[in-house]
């Protein structure tokens, strides 16, 4: 299933580029899935890592994901898919709320994604300086609010044994980028 999900994501994201680095977009979902695999998670969660942006950023639907990968993978992808018809702050508040009340797999998927985004942002800040903020739909202060809010709620309702090491890495990175 993991390899099918990877190939599906590669095909779905073909030609897409990352916002600020212009790298092929697929590098992001691959890193998210690899982080989930390195943390020891199962095939369905890893597959959702590959597929997490497919519905949000391509013509594919949750039904397409469900048909190809089953209802659990579709559920995880749906939980992480933003409604692009909403304004930026509404979409981000929905993600914060999802992290606050979501189950462990939803939290594990979303934090793996957000961590990869911040690692890319940190590298872009080192290369481009504050000009990197021009590539985003919201300015620095809104990005700070969003990432700090996720860091504050990501531990809610999750057992210690279900918290992967990368949660702490995310927390440290939020502090390094937005507080230090």
Active site residues: 56-57
Q: Which residues pair with 17 in a beta bridge?
A: 24
Torsion angle defined by CA atoms of residues 149, 151, 154 and 160, in that order, rounded to the nearest 10 degrees? -150
What are the percentages of helix, strand and coil residues in the chain, rounded to 5?
Answer: 75, 0, 25
Torsion angle defined by CA atoms of residues 34, 118, 123 and 89, in that order, rounded to the nearest 10 degrees? 130
**CB-CB contact of 115 with 35 (8 Å):** yes
Q: Mention every residue, 6+ apart, whose C-beta is less than 8 A from residue 47.
A: 1, 2, 4, 5, 33, 69, 73
**CB-CB contact of 48 with 76 (8 Å):** yes
Cα–Cα distance measured from residue 118 to residue 124, given in angstroms and rounded to the nearest whole number:
9
């Amino acid at each position: 299933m993991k390899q099918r999900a990877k190939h599906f994501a590669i095909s779905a994201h073909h030609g897409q580029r990352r916002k600020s680095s212009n790298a092929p977009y697929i590098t992001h979902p691959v890193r998210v899935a690899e982080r989930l695999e390195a943390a020891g998670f199962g095939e369905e969660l890893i597959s959702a890592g590959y597929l997490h942006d497919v519905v949000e950023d391509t013509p594919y639907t949750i039904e397409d994901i469900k048909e190809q990968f089953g209802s659990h993978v579709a559920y995880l992808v749906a939980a992480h898919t933003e409604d692009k018809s909403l304004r930026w702050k509404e979409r981000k508040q929905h993600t914060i709320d999802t992290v606050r009340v979501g189950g462990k797999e939803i939290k594990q998927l979303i934090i793996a994604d957000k961590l990869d985004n911040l690692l890319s942002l940190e590298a872009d800040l080192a290369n481009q300086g504050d000009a990197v903020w021009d590539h985003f739909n919201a300015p620095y202060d809104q990005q700070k609010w969003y990432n700090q809010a996720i860091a504050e709620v990501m531990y809610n309702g999750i057992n210690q044994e279900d918290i992967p090491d990368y949660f702490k890495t995310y927390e440290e990175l939020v502090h390094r980028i937005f507080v230090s």
